Amino acid sequence: MRVRALKDHVQRLVRHPRAGGFPSTGGDVEWPNDAFTRRRIRDGDVEVVEDQAKATDRQEAARQEGTRRAYRREQTTGEQSN
C-alpha cells in the first residue's frame, strides 16, 4: 500500500523494517500491509494514498455490483428497480 507521512518528524525518522523510509524530498512510499504499517496509520503518523486509477476502478466495480444486484433482485422477485 502507498503511504504518505503526515508529520515532518515521521518523514525524517520513521523507517519501515522491511521497506525502508520516506524519500528526503517528500512524497509517498510503498509499504506492505502489515502490523507496523497499520499501527502507523492508526496513530495518525501516515495516511494511505490511493492511486486515482485504482479509485476509479473501485468506483466502477461498485457501480457494476449494484447493477448486478438489482438485476438479480428483479429476476427473483419481479421487482423493478429505479
Q: Do the Cβ atoms of 48 and 20 come closer than 8 Å?
A: no
Residue 79 and residue 82: Cα distance in Å, rounded? 10
CA nearest to 31, candidates 43, 22, 44, 19: 19
pLDDT for position 30: 94
Residues of the chain with pLDDT under 70: 51-58, 81-82
The predicted pLDDT at position 26 comes to 83
User: What pLDDT is stored for residue 52 in this prediction?
Assistant: 58
**79: number of Cβ within 10 Å:** 9
